[in-house]
Amino acid sequence: MERISWHQYFMAQSHLLALRSTCSRLMVGATIVREKRIIAGGYNGAISGGVHCIDEGCFVIDNHCVRTIHAEVNALLQCAKFGVLRKVRKSM
């Protein structure tokens, strides 16, 4: 069996994260990577403590579900919550 590339590995991680999505309309995952290390991950869904689409249905305006936030935003919020962004910025 051939070893997968780093790109394939991180994309697979994002696909796995998408399976945790709480929006039944669209399932998306995002992985933040630095120097071949996973820093954070997220999936589209409600903000922490918010109402989830899988519980009450999607709230669609202009063909977009506004009950959820993007997977990328959730990943960045995870970074902020655990102080990762500050550490990444200092080392740049």
Q: What angle do CA 39, 45, 46 make, to 5 degrees?
A: 110
Q: Can you read off the two tokens belonging to residue 68?
A: 């959820």
The beta-strand segments (E) located in the chain are 29-34, 37-43, 60-61, 64-65
Establish whether 56 is a catalytic residue.
Answer: no
Catalytic residues: 72
